[in-house]
């Protein structure tokens, strides 16, 4: 645990929860990094094949699928959609850059 978490009067359960949150945050970052490695390769394939950076049909299907998963996991589907839209826009930005490099 961090020194900041050892202050007197901080309940042990709160410390455990903070440790869990820290671990989950680290896992999220690593998972996002792996996802972006995959989408980087997708962008390279799209660029070399002359395909557009965005795939609206795929994006719509992904959003629908992940909103359903969010509901099953009791996560706000609106939040899940916002998060996925943010990720998708970043992926498209990367794909556009790869396409410009391939031209």
Q: Residue 5: which pLDDT band, with cuts at 50, 70 and 90?
A: low
pLDDT of residue 3: 53
Distance separating alpha carbons of residues 60 and 53, to the nearest angstrom: 15
- State the average pLDDT over residues 25-50: 97
Region 2-24: what's the mean pLDDT?
Answer: 86
pLDDT at site 1:
46
Give dist(CA 87, CA 96) in Å, integer.
14
Domains of the chain by start residue, with CATH: 3-102 (1.20.59.10)
């Amino acid at each position: 645990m961090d020194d900041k978490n050892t202050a007197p009067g901080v309940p042990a359960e709160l410390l455990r929860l903070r440790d869990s949150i820290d671990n989950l945050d680290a896992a999220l970052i690593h998972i996002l990094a792996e996802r972006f490695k995959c989408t980087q390769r997708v962008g390279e394939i799209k660029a070399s094949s002359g395909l557009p950076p965005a795939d609206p049909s795929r994006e719509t299907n992904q959003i629908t699928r992940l909103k359903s998963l969010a509901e099953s996991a009791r996560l706000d589907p609106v939040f899940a959609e916002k998060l996925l839209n943010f990720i998708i826009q970043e992926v498209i930005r990367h794909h556009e850059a790869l396409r410009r490099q391939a031209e």
